[in-house]
Amino acid sequence: MAETSSDPAGAGRYAPSPSGDLHIGNLRTALLAWLFARHSGRRFLLRIEDLDDRAKAGVAEAQLRDLRSIGIDWDDEPMRQSDRRTAHDAAIDTLTAAGRTFECFCSRKEIQAAPTAPHAPPGAYPGTCRDLDDDERIRHRAEGRSPAIRLRSNTSRFTIVDDLCGRYTGVVDDFVLRRGDGTAAYNLAVVVDDGAQGIDQVVRADDLLSSTPRQAYLATLLGLPVPDHTHVPLVLNPAGQRLAKRDGAVTLADLALVGVDTAQVLSLMARSLLMAKKDESVTTATLLDRFDPTRLPDGPWILDPHDLW
């Protein structure tokens, strides 16, 4: 069984990857996660998900400054996933001892080229290495291949209930738990670390909804509680694409250069959530007093950054 927090109050969280400055879409999701947690009397925690190859030095500190500048506070020091390797490995060892893992020597290209089972969704693991014998594994190692560790799933689908999206059934294949370089994969790390931090409420963008059944299923295998999930709509550009730095001045630093200050950004986000009037100055404390989860907009926020200046 994976480690669990003894905190009886529960907690919400925000868990950015330090691959670049937070933009308005990221900040809006962080604000919502904070509002949901504080409104429900939970603690609010941060986790720096720095296992990604794109993680850059100094970015996490800049992200924390931006969160503080819009009025978001948190309890305890932020957890860093890169400090959690022992816990991630222990969880994989537990699954391995239960016969729930196997070594996979496939490259991404080989997986994409392999035929999949009938009715399997695009990208689902085709099971190539699921039943390799010892000789085959020895041969792959002799070729210089370092295996990833995959979950040996005994289901193809799993259903979760999301507070905004309702019942959602998603694919659960033999997904990666540890990459070939020895680093824990996202789906494993997020489950183990949520358990360790006592996270029982996850508020995040709805582009992550499809990964939630995998994580919920894995939590049940590790004896961890499945958090309540709320997947909130993204911020999109006028073309209907996820907002990104390519859209112009969308970070606090870039907006400051064109005369848009942090207070204006918070007001703009509040208006997008139907929690402030045009040009009204607000604080996070004001928004917490006004927060009503049942009155949030149910569609994406379409934002043209050029309208900000």
**Beta-sheet pairing, 176-178 with 148-151:** antiparallel
Residue 181 C-beta-side C-alpha neighbours within 13 Å: 5
Q: Is 40 exposed, middle or buried (0-12, 13-18, 19+ CB in 10 A)?
A: middle
Tokens 């041969």 belong to 139
Angle (CA) 180 101 215, round 5°: 85
Annotated binding-site residues read 13-17, 49, 104, 106, 125, 129, 186, 204, 245
Using alpha carbons, select from 53, 229, 220, 214 the residue that is nearest to residue 124: 214
Residues facing residue 12 across a β-bridge: 44, 201
CA distance 123 to 40: 38
Annotated binding-site residues for L-glutamate read 13-17, 49, 186, 204
* C-beta separation of 194 from 184 below 8 A: no
Residues facing residue 150 across a β-bridge: 102, 176
Annotated binding-site residues for ATP read 245
- At 64, the amino acid letter reads L
CA distance 46 to 29: 13
Annotated binding-site residues for Zn(2+) read 104, 106, 125, 129
> Residue 261 contacts by C-beta under 8 Å, 6 or more apart in sequence?
255
Q: Is 83 exposed, middle or buried (0-12, 13-18, 19+ CB in 10 A)?
A: exposed
Q: Token digits for 200? A: 């029982």
CA distance 163 to 298: 12
CA distance 138 to 131: 14
Q: How far apart are the first and last CA of the chain?
A: 52
